[in-house]
Structure 1
Amino acid sequence: MERKERRTGPDRGEVIAVLRRVVAENGSDFLPQYGLATLCMLAIAATTAFSAWIMRDVVDQIFVEERWDALGWICASIIAAFVIRGFATYGQAVLLALVGNNIVARYQTRIFDHLMRLDMAYFTATRSGQLAAQIAQNVTGIRDLLNMTLAAVARDAVSLVGLVVVMVWMDPLLSLIALVIGPPLVYAVNYLMRRLRTVTREAVEVNARLLGAMQESVQGIAIIKAFTMEEVLAQKIAGLIAYAENRSNKIARVSERLGPVTESLAGFAIAAVIAYAGWRAAVSAEPPGSVFAFITALLLAYDPVRKLARVQVNVERALVNARMIYEILDLEPRQEDVPGAKELVVSRGDVVFDRVRFAYDGHRPVLRDVSFEARAGKTTAIVGPSGAGKSTLFALIQRFYDLDGGRITIDGQDIALVTKRSLRGAIAYVSQHPYLFEGTIRDNIRYGRPDATDAEIEEAARLANAEEFILQQPQGYETLVGENGVSLSGGQRQRLSIARAIVRRAPILLLDEATSALDNESEAKVQEALERVMKNRTTLVIAHRLSTVVNADHIVVLEDGMLVEEGTHRTLVKKPHGVYARFYRMQSQKAEDLLEYGAGQSLADGQGLEENIEEKRG
């Protein structure tokens, strides 16, 4: 028992802290709207209390004393009360909806802006589908927390107070009997809140996993069908659905326990009041108006009592959602610009890797004391087997991660000491796996430079040999590309990615095997376009294909995270026991076999290709 008290204490403190934070961040921005909504709720509370109070005059003056002259003003006052109540209900509902929708929108914007500031390590460790689903579920928690709190205080609590005042005014002794249900009801609510806190968070997390898994399955539907994974994934999703259903059922069982508790307590209280009132009416000659007014107030008070009891349960759910949103917002980016960071100024474009060391999350080193120079205006090819660290070099030069040791400089400026925005603004990047965003073809090319003109976009498309297929689309440059360019072929997506890099006009160009998704004819066209674009730019190429390597001004060979060779094609191929020479001989000796069996195979896969060719020969 002592352990439970220690655990629930901090939770209550956390609840109060979250509530204070939500109010502090949003309350002052919506004071006029919340003020008007509060007035509407006070009007609802006042008219509710008036409906109970007027019952005494209805019974005593009309039915007992038969004062028919009072009938007019009593009926008029009742009509006025209900009209006011109707308009007030409408006003508070619309105002809270407008404020709530604005809060959801601002937190969606805030979360997205914050996510854009987080470092790559966060996204590497977080499943995108699950993150999106979690945000979609939790972002409404802030809105619900504010609106439910305001409604509970301004409408339900004030209504309850007004009705209790009427009850005490009509009969203090009967009021004391009715209010006996308060302590056990408070105890029951607190007990259910403790039970609900844990199960609600579990439900949010499992639903996020479920929606994330569904989203990933839709995105990877081609792989699912290609590998006949339908049944396997169906079973996995069914398991998550069953678990989510179980959590939701448990929430329903726990939260709805308040219903029978509230109803039972209210039933005992109302029955006791009616029994006592009936006994007193039998032994005395008092007019029954006060008793009727009291019973009306008691019956009307049951609704705000029930809402106040349930609002605590609902607020607890909203607090769970709000806490999970703040867990994201409170994440500190680990890659902030250093104090006093300057803008990168690229005069020539010399890129120097100086004893660079790096490991992901402190595990096995990926790069170990790698040093080389990519000279300005020249093409530097980076070759090596898979896992050698080629793509990591590209990630580091863009400062997606910070180095464990050494430094990278551009024209003598350490990239760790300049702003990330200016650094990345000086770099154009073409990934091996092109990614297109929602929007038109023109929009996707313009992402390279938002201020690019339509003429510049179309020129970039021509340079990337993309204009021909663009003009064949239904709306040309205004054609929607679909989710990640699903309506386009891999080669077409890659050419749009290259056009995006061209329109950026950056002095440094990073090409991660940019022609790997193209057929031979398209590759020749794009390679020709890239050669024009690469002039007067510092170009680093992750190269697998022989043609790219041979034409490079400088070649860097990586193996197991270390630089093992560097030089030109002419010098490296002459090293009889060199890694590069082995790759080159393997492909050059099989040139005819490459054409017949596997044109475009990578240097890194040379050994597997040789085995494949020998198998086919046999």
Structure 2
Amino acid sequence: MFGRNSNSDQHIEPGDVVAVVRRVFAENGRDYLGLYAMATLCMLALAATTAFSAWIMRYIVNDLFYGQRWDLVPWICGGIVVAFTVRGFATYGQAVLLARVGNNIVARYQQRLFDHLLKLGMPFFTASRSGQISAQISQNVTGIRDLLNMTVAAIARDAVTLIGLIAVMLWQDWLLSVMAFIIGPPIILAVNYIMRRLRRVTRESVEINSHLLGAMQESVQGIAIVKAFTMENVLSRKIAQLVYQAEERNNKIARVSERMAPITEMVAGVAIAGVIGYAAWRASALAEPPGAVISFITALLLAYDPVRRLARVQVNLERALVNARMIYEILDLKPQQGDAAGAGVLEVSAGEVRFDKVRFAYSQNLPVLHGVSFTARAGKTTAIVGPSGAGKSTLFALLQRFYDVDGGTITIDGQDIAEITKVSLRSSIAYVSQHPYLFEGSIRDNIRYGRPDATDEEVEAAARLANAEEFIKLQPEGYETLVGENGVTLSGGQRQRVSIARAIVRNAPILLLDEATSALDNESEARVQEALERIMKDRTTLVIAHRLSTVVNADHIVVLEDGLLVEEGTHRALVRKPHGVYARFHRMQQEKAENLLEGTAGLPSEMAEEEAGGSR
């Protein structure tokens, strides 16, 4: 039931209620036709028993008590028992069936939204806050369910019940019925007024609540920074302001939507009182048996509930429609980086990566790369160095097609990556980020994300190569130990080694290392670097490095500055250029190391070695 494609090309105008309802039913109605048919039968039975309760009052009063037809007692009592038994089962059936449909709709749209989010490009997530996205989804996904269920309930239960009761009223007394119908026009006018006010307030409420839940989620995720910088009071005031705004909007929604209650009650009271007064006068003046009037009044009183619910349907539907529209605003976003028409599958033979006059800007006024050209030779290690903001990480993002280049080309073995599928491209690349991210699950699960079909033996072999097995075996359940949110139960160095093991188990021909050993201590760095050197053999490896000591053995070094390639060559060749950028970085890092060594001169030997080791 989750595989049906949406009609996402249908654009919804803010006020186009019919378009939203039509789209929701077009996407879901067929799948739930059987369940809705059974729920409708239950509702029809419920409506019939309600009408029966009013209709039989005439015979109870006139024949049973007024006419003293005691022989009818078993039939009338039996009919009432049957009616209420049917009513009970019908109520249960329609409630369970609608709940089943509603729960499946929520599950369907949650899965559909998540799958669609995964298809959207990095620009969407760069411009959106993750907490607000998840909060908006959790709030709005029920709008589709409510829209369907309320529509079905309004038609099959309330409308049919009202029609049945009106038929009873007309059968008993058409003149009294006309008097009762004066309740309609005032309620319709009130609904239209409230609906317009509610639409805007509801959307504001949803947006404020998404900001509130998003801020709370981000505060929990960054709790270490919150406490380290004593931000508790600042964030508490920020959350308090959002909580107050959310409370005010919710109170306003309550005031607007509940305005139906006094209007409906007052108009209904006038109508019912008028009917009862006229009926009483007619009974006393014309000496008519009271059965028909009592049956009519019973039907009128029973009709009040469906009338009240139907009057509120438009109001409640408007709230659900706001939620549904906001869900479709996400679902209607087109992925900006779809595969090109006829895109082929990347075939990596050697693994040569070539950047040719690559230009890129995150926005029109924020250029990052200005015609960068270099080649990462197959099976060799190419290091990319330069100051922060030079464009090093952007090259990695472009190579993985998180973004598309504005000019120039990137090729792998002569194949333009813009003309191959993203899946085949990214399947050929293993990536180790400077900031490792671990997902919910066990350590073994997180390593296996590199290649889902990896065996336990391959996972454990990758952990050994990444120098991770030692600390993994010290965990309470070894490889099956669950990591906290983003691996919070592990140290930074441990998370990085799990991330490296994930890249190792991927066994891809191209390896990207974004300062992969930055979070490790000296001893672990040395062992992990040794492991990386083993897996880097016969692989095309691109390394981003800030510490030049990690790239001295690279086969080729590319130096970026302000989005331009300013130098390239080997470490030995670049340090010989006295006025070169690389040579300047090298001198600065040497001077820093020497200053640290001088500062440890008066320390005990063990401490001096530790301080000096930190600069290597």
Instruction: Give the TM-score normalised by the residue count of structure 1.
Output: 0.94
The counterpart of 1:496, out of the listed 498, 513, 520, is 498
The residue aligned with 2:305 is: 303
Secondary structure in structure 2 of the residue aligned to 1:360: strand
1:41-63 Cα shifts (integer Å, max 9, x gaps): 00000000000000000000011
Cα deviation for residue 125 of structure 1 reads 0.2
Superposition map of 1:261-410 within 5 A: 261-410=263-412
Secondary structure in structure 1 of the residue aligned to 2:289: coil
Q: Which amino acid aligns with 1:247?
A: R
Q: Which amino acid aligns with 2:201?
A: V
Cα deviation for residue 586 of structure 1 reads 1.8
Return the alpha-carbon distance in structure 1 between the equivalents of residues 241 and 200 of structure 2: 21
The residue aligned with 2:4 is: none
Q: Which amino acid aligns with 2:431?
A: Y
Return the alpha-carbon distance in structure 2 between the equivalents of residues 23 and 378 of structure 1: 57
Q: Which amino acid aligns with 1:151?
A: A
Secondary structure in structure 2 of the residue aligned to 1:564: strand
The counterpart of 2:489, out of the listed 487, 508, 522, is 487
Return the alpha-carbon distance in structure 1 between the equivalents of residues 427 and 466 of structure 2: 21
1:545-570 Cα shifts (integer Å, max 9, x gaps): 12212111101000001001000011
The counterpart of 2:447, out of the listed 439, 445, 448, is 445
The residue aligned with 1:142 is: 144
Return the alpha-carbon distance in structure 1 between the equivalents of residues 519 and 442 of structure 2: 21
The residue aligned with 2:610 is: none
Q: Which amino acid aligns with 1:480?
A: L
The residue aligned with 2:229 is: 227
Return the alpha-carbon distance in structure 2 between the equivalents of residues 591 and 164 of structure 1: 92
Aligned residues: 590
Q: State the identity %.
A: 76
Return the alpha-carbon distance in structure 1 between the equivalents of residues 490 and 596 of structure 2: 28
The counterpart of 2:536, out of the listed 534, 537, 540, is 534
Q: Which amino acid aligns with 2:80?
A: I
The residue aligned with 1:602 is: none
The residue aligned with 2:577 is: 575
Which has the larger displacement, 429-438 or 310-319?
310-319
The residue aligned with 2:461 is: 459
The residue aligned with 1:206 is: 208
The residue aligned with 1:67 is: 69
Return the alpha-carbon distance in structure 1 between the equivalents of residues 592 and 230 of structure 2: 35
The counterpart of 1:19, out of the listed 12, 16, 21, is 21
Cα deviation for residue 361 of structure 1 reads 2.2
The residue aligned with 2:608 is: none
Return the alpha-carbon distance in structure 2 between the equivalents of residues 597 and 329 of structure 1: 59
Return the alpha-carbon distance in structure 1 between the equivalents of residues 104 and 598 of structure 2: 62
Q: Which amino acid aligns with 2:344?
A: K
Q: Which amino acid aligns with 1:543?
A: A
Q: Which amino acid aligns with 1:514?
A: A
Which has the larger displacement, 578-587 or 232-241?
578-587
Cα deviation for residue 593 of structure 1 reads 2.6
Label 1:310 to 1:210 Cα distance change in 2 as closer, same or farther (>3 A).
Answer: same
Cα deviation for residue 11 of structure 1 reads 4.6
Return the alpha-carbon distance in structure 2 between the equivalents of residues 363 and 333 of structure 1: 23
The residue aligned with 1:506 is: 508
Label 1:74 to 1:597 Cα distance change in 2 as closer, same or farther (>3 A).
Answer: farther
Alignment gaps of 5+ in structure 2: 1-11, 601-614
Secondary structure in structure 1 of the residue aligned to 2:384: strand
1:235-257 Cα shifts (integer Å, max 9, x gaps): 00000000000000000000000
1:474-496 Cα shifts (integer Å, max 9, x gaps): 00000000100010000000000
CA contact (8 A) 1:587 1:594 kept: no
Return the alpha-carbon distance in structure 1 between the equivalents of residues 331 and 342 of structure 2: 25
The counterpart of 1:45, out of the listed 26, 44, 47, is 47
* Pair 1:520-2:529 in alignment: no
Secondary structure in structure 2 of the residue aligned to 1:540: strand
Q: Which amino acid aligns with 2:232?
A: E
Label 1:594 to 1:528 Cα distance change in 2 as closer, same or farther (>3 A).
Answer: farther
Secondary structure in structure 2 of the residue aligned to 1:550: coil
Label 1:312 to 1:559 Cα distance change in 2 as closer, same or farther (>3 A).
Answer: same
Cα deviation for residue 592 of structure 1 reads 3.1
The residue aligned with 1:543 is: 545
Cα deviation for residue 72 of structure 1 reads 1.0
Return the alpha-carbon distance in structure 1 between the equivalents of residues 435 and 593 of structure 2: 27
The residue aligned with 1:29 is: 31
CA contact (8 A) 1:378 1:539 kept: yes
Return the alpha-carbon distance in structure 2 between the equivalents of residues 139 and 596 of structure 1: 62
CA contact (8 A) 1:376 1:537 kept: yes
The residue aligned with 1:559 is: 561
Cα deviation for residue 597 of structure 1 reads 6.5
Return the alpha-carbon distance in structure 2 between the equivalents of residues 11 and 445 of structure 1: 46
Label 1:113 to 1:10 Cα distance change in 2 as closer, same or farther (>3 A).
Answer: closer
CA contact (8 A) 1:465 1:525 kept: yes
The residue aligned with 1:176 is: 178
Which has the larger displacement, 589-598 or 228-237?
589-598
CA contact (8 A) 1:353 1:408 kept: yes
Superposition map of 1:102-121 within 5 A: 102-121=104-123
1:560-598 Cα shifts (integer Å, max 9, x gaps): 010010000111111111000011122224433345769
Cα deviation for residue 151 of structure 1 reads 0.4
The residue aligned with 1:610 is: none
Return the alpha-carbon distance in structure 2 between the equivalents of residues 74 and 470 of structure 1: 76
Q: Which amino acid aligns with 1:208?
A: S
Return the alpha-carbon distance in structure 1 between the equivalents of residues 469 and 26 of structure 2: 53
Instruction: Give the TM-score normalised by the residue count of structure 2.
Output: 0.95
Secondary structure in structure 1 of the residue aligned to 2:538: coil
Return the alpha-carbon distance in structure 2 between the equivalents of residues 597 and 422 of structure 1: 52
1:440-468 Cα shifts (integer Å, max 9, x gaps): 00000000000000000000000000000
Q: Which amino acid aligns with 2:144?
A: I
Q: Which amino acid aligns with 1:213?
A: A
Secondary structure in structure 2 of the residue aligned to 1:18: helix
Q: Which amino acid aligns with 2:593?
A: A
Which has the larger displacement, 308-317 or 419-428?
308-317
The residue aligned with 1:167 is: 169
Label 1:574 to 1:120 Cα distance change in 2 as closer, same or farther (>3 A).
Answer: same
Cα deviation for residue 534 of structure 1 reads 0.4
Q: Which amino acid aligns with 1:310?
A: R
The RMSD of aligned alpha carbons is 1.2
Q: Which amino acid aligns with 1:158?
A: V
Cα deviation for residue 10 of structure 1 reads 6.1
Secondary structure in structure 2 of the residue aligned to 1:112: helix
The counterpart of 1:586, out of the listed 579, 582, 588, is 588
Q: Which amino acid aligns with 1:365?
A: P
Return the alpha-carbon distance in structure 1 between the equivalents of residues 366 and 143 of structure 2: 41
The residue aligned with 1:605 is: none
Label 1:450 to 1:596 Cα distance change in 2 as closer, same or farther (>3 A).
Answer: farther
Alignment gaps of 5+ in structure 1: 1-8, 599-612, 614-618
Return the alpha-carbon distance in structure 2 between the equivalents of residues 281 and 372 of structure 1: 102
* Pair 1:430-2:432 in alignment: yes
